[in-house]
Structure 1
Amino acid sequence: MRRAEDHPSRRAFLGAGATVLAAGLTAACEPGAARPDQRDAPPATTAVPPTGPHQAGITLPREAQPNLLVVVADVVDGTAVGALLAELGEAVRALASGTDSRSLGLPPGDLTVTIGVGPRLVRLADPALPGAVDLPRFSHERIAPHARGGDLLVQVCAGDAVVLSIVAAALLDQAGDRVRERWRQSGRRGSAVPVNQDFTAPRNVFGFIDGIVGPQTDAQQRRDLWLAGPPPVAGGTLAVFRRMELDLARFAALPVADQEAVFGRRRDDGAPLSGGTIAADPHLGAKTPDGRYLIPADAHLRKAHPNAAGVGLMLRRSYSIDDPAPGLLFVSFQNDIRTFTTTLTRMDNGDALLPFTTTTASASFLILPGFDHQHPLGATLFRQRSERVGAPTPTT
């Protein structure tokens, strides 16, 4: 096991160097960046504990940090998965506390790291567990083989954009030659807009407020977000990551009224076209005097609404991206993968938003339950640290 004081590998830092540079160039544009008259007063951040019943970076902090970096990797055959995850968990604890020398002296601030395992690793633990099934293919996809699926997710979020790549490089260094990176994506959230007194949502790349509907209360999160069982996954959740290129020029050329018809909400304040405020429940049956739906039949709000799809709530987040092309990284957390697949299948059938999108990367993961010093990351799934990827599955 590598120690925190070991020097980071040249390979890991070379792989992250370009992203560090990009993060530094864009940091001044982030919502938390200091204005010229505040250069000596960096924004205050509150540390987020990495341990607990759930991993950080999902509901903690309550308002997601503005910067994200996702790394998706494969685990090399022959790797002892339990030992790898336990080491990564210890590295996360050290990085979050600022005691790992590989953080290069940068304060962690509100850093969170969230780690998940893909379907192949879930099947290694138990093929019957949630997260063991690969995502199906959908329309409006142009995904290269290396950008579909993956064994290991590392999601890094922070208010300081420079922290992201340094932390990711440290974790890849910890994993060493036991993992091979598939793809990575950095992103940033738009400016936050109040939805109610306890909740805000950002604007997406299309200019609309995004992620308004989701499991916000503790009761909703117990029902739709966190896995209650089986015991090996209790406290975890399921995540979907989809990178999309967007036809921004064609969308921007639409009149505002047509843009609003695509989304089913007003662009300026996020209110549903059926009326009320941004927080109002959409009235999907409301019609004009001549019988037309106020929220059009093909509007994204109608097609993706959980009541219309007959599924639970998703905790949805979107991040704007510039590379490899202008677009967004869509992230959803839910305790039943059918919440996502049923919704997207319904959207495939005539959602007005989808023709403006092309998905170029897609993966799903079981987000591991929370961990602490006495309960290593991944120990509930991989009780035997010697259990190895690629080994024959035991028969009974």
Structure 2
Amino acid sequence: MRRRSVLLGLGGLVTGAVAGGVGWGAATGWATAPVTGGKPSTEDPKLPRVEAAGRQQAGIRRPDTPQSHGRLLALDLPSTDLGWLAALGDLILDIVDGSHPDAATILPDGAGDLSITVGLGPRVIASVDPALPGAEELPDFKNDGAIPDSRRGGDVLLAAYCSDPTALRPVLDLVAAAVPGATKRWDQRGFRAPSEGTIVRNPLGFLDGVVVPRGDAEFDENVWIPDGPLAQGTVCVIRRLRLDVNAFHARSRGEQEAVFGRRAGDGAPLSGGGPRDQVDLRAKTPEGEYLVPANAHARAAHPSFTGSELMLRRGYTFDDGDVDGVADTGLLFVCFQRSLRTFTATQQRLDEVDALSQFVTPTGSATFVILPGFDRDRPLGAALVALHG
């Protein structure tokens, strides 16, 4: 089977193991560079600077291993005017390269591996052309009815990722102030366990972010919008998923693995083989029972049922304490794909049959188009602004 045929589930709750691949910078020429200023050591190989300029925006495929902390901020706009985008792009470049006059104050140790990503919501995209990717709102899925309006949607997404969590608030506050008339809709911080590439354990203790596009061809096929004013952009879906960790951990290890369809320790499929092997949906016990249960997450989300493509997942854990005595903790699921259908087809299938859903409560939902990359000569959102007139 081709890799695009092995998508195994909703935004990061899938399991598995690391697959190899050439780093994106080496493959495309938009390589990262060492930090050039600030403290500590500018030669620290663990914190390569993430260049803001490129064919695509940073914070999606760059860096290969997502930073350990993130903040996502959604804004509402008073109008659909886009004349501020070019100045916003220049501001981001100034912050990351240290030339902004406030850089020494908000980033006293330098930008490190900071990346800042900008997206636009469906209302704004539809005002330009309702036929563009990303002009469609997310539908309501099962159990979405309890999501408050204050945690839905938004006109602008600003996402900052960094190994230094103290940088996130001042950086995004500065960037948000450059969006004229904007008001905050929702704001969410998240963190990741130590990881390699996109692989990380989710709050339920299972490996996450394994089956994702790898290499230029798969990113072109599954992630980047191929043409038009949004070419080299991508459609982002964000879901705030509260997880009932206590209830899940109260189950036996065997029951937990049956929910996912994979082993907890190494992520190998219950159908047999190693961590890198595909799930065999036809494998049965001598008694005729499926080795991967009928309602296991891996089976429920398999593309043979959904007809969907691969999505790039860069999920984060959130923990916002207790709300009315209930732990408000879970997965801040973030995925990227060139068509919204990749996500919606998968989620609609999961709504029908997925053992994992009994432990998941959606508490936030949004979609944005992440604009194409930019640089000093190619302003942020230039093609879209030209079409908008």
Alignment TM-score > 0.5, same fold: yes
Q: How does 1:216-295 map to 2 (within 5 A)?
A: 216-229=214-227, 231-295=228-292
CA contact 1:102–1:166 (8 Å) conserved in 2: no
Shift of 1:113: 0.8
Match of 2:359 in 1: 356
Match of 1:63 in 2: 65
**In 2 relative to 1, CA 381–364 (structure 1 residues): closer, same or farther, beyond 3 Å?**
same
**Matched residue SS, 2:364:** strand
**Matched residue SS, 1:150:** coil
**In the alignment, which of 161, 178, 184 is matched to residue 157 of structure 1?**
161
CA contact 2:128–2:387 (8 Å) conserved in 1: no
The whole-number CA distance in structure 1 between the counterparts of 2:127 and 2:274 is 47
The yes-or-no answer on 1:323 pairing with 2:326 is no
**Matched residue SS, 1:70:** strand
**Matched residue SS, 2:384:** coil
Q: How does 1:328-339 map to 2 (within 5 A)?
A: 328-339=331-342
User: For residues 272-291 of structure 1, what are the alpha-carbon distances to aligned partners after superposition, in whole Å with 9 as ceiling and x for unaligned?
Assistant: 11122222111111111111
The whole-number CA distance in structure 2 between the counterparts of 1:306 and 1:190 is 28
User: For residues 364-386 of structure 1, what are the alpha-carbon distances to aligned partners after superposition, in whole Å with 9 as ceiling and x for unaligned?
Assistant: 0111011111111111111178x
CA contact 2:305–2:349 (8 Å) conserved in 1: no
Runs (4 or more) in structure 1 with deviation over 2 Å come to 39-44, 305-308
**Matched residue SS, 2:84:** helix
The whole-number CA distance in structure 1 between the counterparts of 2:382 and 2:198 is 35
**In the alignment, which of 297, 303, 308 is matched to residue 306 of structure 1?**
303
**In the alignment, which of 54, 75, 78 is matched to residue 76 of structure 1?**
78
Shift of 1:217: 2.0
The whole-number CA distance in structure 1 between the counterparts of 2:207 and 2:335 is 16
**In the alignment, which of 171, 177, 185 is matched to residue 173 of structure 1?**
177
CA contact 1:228–1:234 (8 Å) conserved in 2: yes
User: For residues 220-265 of structure 1, what are the alpha-carbon distances to aligned partners after superposition, in whole Å with 9 as ceiling and x for unaligned?
Assistant: 1111011102x20110000000011111111110001101111111
Match of 2:110 in 1: 107
The whole-number CA distance in structure 2 between the counterparts of 1:237 and 1:68 is 19
Match of 1:20 in 2: none
The whole-number CA distance in structure 2 between the counterparts of 1:383 and 1:200 is 35
The yes-or-no answer on 1:92 pairing with 2:92 is yes
What letter matches 1:138 in structure 2?
F
User: For residues 300-359 of structure 1, what are the alpha-carbon distances to aligned partners after superposition, in whole Å with 9 as ceiling and x for unaligned?
Assistant: 111123343211001112211111611110011001110100000000001111111111
What letter matches 2:278 in structure 1?
D
Match of 2:199 in 1: 201
**In the alignment, which of 124, 127, 131 is matched to residue 128 of structure 1?**
131
The whole-number CA distance in structure 2 between the counterparts of 1:370 and 1:256 is 44
**Matched residue SS, 2:207:** coil
CA contact 2:40–2:109 (8 Å) conserved in 1: no
CA contact 2:134–2:367 (8 Å) conserved in 1: yes
Structure 1 unmatched runs, 5+ = 1-38, 194-198, 388-396
What letter matches 1:73 in structure 2?
L
CA contact 1:210–1:317 (8 Å) conserved in 2: no
What letter matches 2:262 in structure 1?
R
Match of 1:146 in 2: 150
Match of 1:343 in 2: 346
**In 2 relative to 1, CA 305–211 (structure 1 residues): closer, same or farther, beyond 3 Å?**
farther
**In 2 relative to 1, CA 359–102 (structure 1 residues): closer, same or farther, beyond 3 Å?**
farther
The whole-number CA distance in structure 2 between the counterparts of 1:371 and 1:354 is 39
CA contact 2:64–2:198 (8 Å) conserved in 1: no
**In the alignment, which of 212, 215, 219 is matched to residue 213 of structure 2?**
215
What letter matches 2:352 in structure 1?
N
**Matched residue SS, 1:233:** coil
What letter matches 1:250 in structure 2?
A
CA contact 1:140–1:357 (8 Å) conserved in 2: no
The yes-or-no answer on 1:190 pairing with 2:193 is yes
Shift of 1:45: 0.7
The whole-number CA distance in structure 2 between the counterparts of 1:354 and 1:342 is 16
The whole-number CA distance in structure 1 between the counterparts of 2:154 and 2:115 is 21
What letter matches 2:205 in structure 1?
G
CA contact 1:201–1:210 (8 Å) conserved in 2: yes
The whole-number CA distance in structure 2 between the counterparts of 1:191 and 1:267 is 17
Structure 2 unmatched runs, 5+ = 1-38, 322-327
Larger RCO (CA under 8 A, 6+ residues apart): 2
CA contact 1:102–1:170 (8 Å) conserved in 2: no
Q: Which moved more, 1:100-109 or 1:336-345?
A: 100-109
Match of 2:376 in 1: 373
The whole-number CA distance in structure 2 between the counterparts of 1:349 and 1:200 is 28
The whole-number CA distance in structure 2 between the counterparts of 1:97 and 1:261 is 48
What letter matches 1:373 in structure 2?
R
The whole-number CA distance in structure 1 between the counterparts of 2:269 and 2:128 is 44
The whole-number CA distance in structure 1 between the counterparts of 2:384 and 2:40 is 46
**Matched residue SS, 2:208:** coil
What letter matches 1:143 in structure 2?
I
Shift of 1:43: 7.4
